[in-house]
């Protein structure tokens, strides 16, 4: 059985007041095996968050089918919600509570005993490079990057069967990016968690994804293992990058406008 199975998925949004529609997803097919780290790589506005929101049962597709471990995201939404956990850049917290308190609150919902949870939460936060003097401070005093780490730690405290990470490292400094990437790989090793993540960071996709789909304007323009994708455009054994793959399949230059991405994420 696939951890995630997507067939012919379409989603459109109305621009409002007769100004037409945006085709955010135009016929997406994806299969993710259990234990895989699968990436969706695409520029700003390509449909990544829409795709993740549909898998997380937060949006209803206009056409097509999506299943999580065999469960339909529309008809069995409640069951799917037990299997997935989505981390996005707009994660919600109790702003007056500290990272530790926010994590402990989450742990209680899952029935993890307080002492065990406190120890694990602290370890995770330090592991992600959150300064130890921040662990007890109110969330609202933390930087965006620090808040993002807390959101990731919360997901890792009680790993779901399918972890959805929508641009987990956007806006983080290079070192924090590494810390998050390593934790993702470690979680997969230790718990066998399936990870479905979006990114616009080519290096990240190349480094941690077993397979990936390149998304452009709501369509998958290429999919496969990073090495396979690169081999397709590499001639004479020359080393290539995913940037060249993108140019090759779309005819467009890859623009890495992280600030624009972060602002609209």
Which residues of the shown chain bind Mg ion in the complex (CB under 5 A)? 48-49, 265
Nearer to Mg ion, 112 or 180 (CB): 180
Is 47 a binder of ligand ADP (CB under 6 A)? yes
Is 50 a binder of ligand ADP (CB under 6 A)? yes
- Give the three-class secondary structure for 25: strand
- Which single residue brings its beta carbon nearest to Mg ion? 49
Stretch that binds ligand ADP, among 48-56, 99-107, 117-125, 230-238 (CB under 6 A): 48-56
Cα gap 108→156, rounded to integer Å: 14
**Shortest Cβ distance from residue 177 to ligand ADP (Å)?**
18
Q: For residue 243, which of 231, 260, 230 has the smallest C-alpha distance?
A: 230
Residue 235 per-residue DSSP state = -
Q: Are 226 and 36 in contact (CB under 8 A)?
A: no
Exactly one of 5, 37, 46, 130 binds ligand ADP (CB under 6 A); that residue is 46
Nearer to Mg ion, 33 or 264 (CB): 264
**Shortest Cβ distance from residue 165 to ligand ADP (Å)?**
12
Q: Are 157 and 149 in contact (CB under 8 A)?
A: no
Cα gap 16→164, rounded to integer Å: 29
Is 2 a binder of ligand ADP (CB under 6 A)? no
* Full DSSP string of 51-83: HHHHHTTSS--SEEEEEETTEETTTTHHHHHHH
- Ramachandran angles phi, psi of 167, nearest 5°: 50, 60
Is 171 a binder of ligand ADP (CB under 6 A)? no
Nearer to Mg ion, 87 or 112 (CB): 87
Is 252 a binder of ligand ADP (CB under 6 A)? no
Is 24 a binder of ligand ADP (CB under 6 A)? yes
Cα gap 48→60, rounded to integer Å: 15
Is 44 a binder of ligand ADP (CB under 6 A)? yes
Sites of contact with ligand ADP (CB under 6 A): 13, 22, 24, 42, 44-50
């Amino acid at each position: 059985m696939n951890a995630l199975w997507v067939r012919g998925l379409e989603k459109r949004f109305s621009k409002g007041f007769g100004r037409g529609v945006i085709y955010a997803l135009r016929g997406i097919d994806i299969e993710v095996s259990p234990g895989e780290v699968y990436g969706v790589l695409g520029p700003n506005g390509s449909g990544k968050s829409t795709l993740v929101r549909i898998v997380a049962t937060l949006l209803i597709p206009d056409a097509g089918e999506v299943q999580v471990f065999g469960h339909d995201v529309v008809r069995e939404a409640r069951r799917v919600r037990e299997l997935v956990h989505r981390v996005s850049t707009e994660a919600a917290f109790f702003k007056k509570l500290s990272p530790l308190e926010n994590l402990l609150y989450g742990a209680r919902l899952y029935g993890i005993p307080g002492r065990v949870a406190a120890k694990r939460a602290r370890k995770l936060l330090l592991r992600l490079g959150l300064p130890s003097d921040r662990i007890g401070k109110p969330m609202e005093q933390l930087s965006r990057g620090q808040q993002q780490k807390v959101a990731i730690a919360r997901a890792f405290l009680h790993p779901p069967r399918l972890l959805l990470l929508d641009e987990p490292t956007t806006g983080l400094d290079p070192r924090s990016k590494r810390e998050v990437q390593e934790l993702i790989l470690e979680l997969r090793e230790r718990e066998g968690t399936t990870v479905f993540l979006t990114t616009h960071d080519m290096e990240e996709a190349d480094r941690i994804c077993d397979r990936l789909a390149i998304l452009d304007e709501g369509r998958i323009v290429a999919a496969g293992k990073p090495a396979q994708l690169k081999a397709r455009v590499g001639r004479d054994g020359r080393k290539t990058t995913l940037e060249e793959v993108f140019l090759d399949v779309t005819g467009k230059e890859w623009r890495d406008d992280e600030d624009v991405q972060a602002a609209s994420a």
